[in-house]
Amino acid sequence: MPIALRDDVMYILLKKISEGDKPNQGVHEVNLTPEDFAGRQLSESDLLGHLDYLNQKQYIDAEFTGNAYGNQEDVPDAVAPKEFDARIANTFGASDGPLPHLITFSKAELTDKGRRMLEKMEQDPPQALGKGPAVPIVTESMPFLEKVMVKGNLEDIFDARDVTEVVFRTMRDMMTTEASDRVASELHEEALPTDDKALQNEVAELWKDTNPIVSFLSRIRPPLKIKADTFLFRINQEAGLPRGVAPEEAITAVFAATKDELSEERIKEVEGYLPDKILQLWKDA
C-alpha cells in the first residue's frame, strides 16, 4: 500500500544526507536516529518508503534494497543488512512496524536534482516543520527530567521520573550512606519547572527516593554487591520502561543527566561502586 509522502520528512532526509557531503567525496555514511524525527509519528515503513521514493526519483543516490512498505513480519527479511548495512532495533513503537533506532547507509549522497530540491526547500521550509514538536536538543540548561526523557527516548516526563528513581535506587543500594549523601549534596537543581505537584522535586529528592519507606531502608541497609546483569534486570523489571526502550538506553540517559549535575570528584567516586558493563555505560554517558 503506497504511503502518504510528507514534505517535512523529505526535507529532514535531504538535510541529513547533505550534512556529510564534501567536494568529490561521492557516497558517504549517513546515520538517522529517532531524535531526527522526534514527535513526527513516523513508522519504519514510512521512513523506508520516503527513502525509496527519493532514490527512485533520483533525488539521492543510495544502495537500497528490500520492501520499503514492509510490516513487522517482513521488514527484517526484506531489508538485507549486508547489502543495505542497516541495523534495525526489534522495537514495536508503531502499529505497522518497529521504529528505527539506527539506520546506516553504506552508500548515499544527494544528486544534483536533490541539491536543487533541498535549496528550494531551505528557501521555503515545509510548514509541517513548525507544526509538529521540534526535535529536542539536549543542552546544559535543559531540566534534568527532560534530558532523561529525550536521551532515553521515553514517552513522557512521568516515565523519565520513574526510570530515574529506579536507576538511582539501584545505584544507591551499592553505595555507603556517606557516599550517597555526598552525591545528594550536589543534586540541588529542580528536576523540572512545573506546577504539577507529582513532578515537583529536586534531583536530590529523586536520588534519596520520594518513597519515604524506601528512602529510610536505604540508609540502614549495608551496601549491596550488585552485578551488571542484576542491575540491568532491576531496571527492566521495576522501571516500567516503555516498549522498545532497552534498559541500557534508559540507564545511559539517567547517567548522562546525573553527570551534568556532579563534580568530577563525585563522578569518580560513583565509578568506584559500579560493576563492569554498568561502569562503562557511566563513563560513556
Per-residue pLDDT reduced to its tens digit, 90-138: 333 333 333 344 344 456 788 888 888 888 888 877 766 655 444 444 4
pTM of the model: 0.52
Examine the domain organization and report whether 155 and 120 are in the same domain: no
Residues 231 and 111 in one domain: no
Let me know whether 72 and 124 are in one domain: yes
State the chain's maximal CA–CA distance in angstroms: 68
Same domain, 121 and 173: no
Low-confidence winner among 116-130, 193-207, 248-262 (lowest mean pLDDT): 193-207
Among 240, 281, 242, residue whose Cα is nearest residue 34: 242
**Nearest alpha carbon to residue 85 among 66, 103, 99:** 103
pLDDT at 125: 77
Q: Does residue 125 form part of some domain?
A: yes
**Number of folded domains in the chain?**
2
Is the residue at 2 inside a domain?
Answer: no
How many Å apart are CA 221 and CA 175, to the nearest integer? Answer: 10
137 within domain boundaries: no
The answer to whether the beta carbons of residues 107 and 14 sit under 8 Å apart is no
78 and 150 both lie in a single domain: no
Q: What is the pLDDT of residue 182?
A: 94
Q: Is 47:32 a contact under the CB 8 Å cutoff?
A: yes
Verify that 124 and 254 share a domain, yes or no: no
pLDDT of residue 221: 83
Paired residues of 61 in beta bridges: 109
Residue 101's contacts (CB-CB under 8 Å, 6 or more residues apart) are 33, 34, 87, 88, 89, 91, 153
Q: Which of 131, 163, 180 is the C-terminal boundary of a domain?
A: 131
For residues 162 and 250, membership in a common domain is answered with yes
In a shared domain, residues 156 and 280? yes
Does 230 share its domain with 277?
Answer: yes
Q: Look at residues 97, 131, 165 and tell me which one is the last residue of a structural domain.
A: 131
Residue (of 185, 154, 206) closest to 265 by Cα position: 185
Distance CA 172, CA 84 (A): 43
User: Which string of DSSP letters, residue by residue, matches 77-135?
Assistant: HHS-HHHH---------BTTBPPPS-EEESSEEE-HHHHHHHHHHHHS--THHHHSPPP
> Does any domain span residue 139?
no
Domain with 55 in it:
7-131
Q: What's the CATH code of the domain at 227?
A: 1.10.490.110
142 versus 192: which is more confidently predicted?
142
**Residue 173's pLDDT band (cuts 50, 70, 90):** very high
pLDDT value at residue 218: 75
Instruction: Work out whether strand 108-110 and strand 60-62 pair parallel, antiparallel, or are unpaired.
Output: antiparallel
Residues 278 and 150 in one domain: yes
Separation of alpha carbons 136 and 132, rounded Å: 12
- pLDDT given at position 128: 64
Q: Which residue has the higher pLDDT, 190 or 280?
A: 280
C-alpha of 103 from chain center: 14
Q: How confident is the model at residue 282 (pLDDT cuts 50, 70, 90)?
A: very high
162: Cα separation from own chain's centroid: 16
Whether 138 maps to a domain, the answer reads no
Q: Which residue has better confidence, 27 or 255?
A: 255
| CATH code for the domain of 96 | 1.10.10
Indicate the residue among 131, 155, 174 that finishes a domain: 131
Same-domain check for residues 175 and 277 = yes
**Looking up cell 509541517, which residue turns up?**
128
Q: Name 277's Cβ contacts closer than 8 Å, sequence gap at least 6.
A: 228, 229, 232
Residues 20 and 115 in one domain: yes
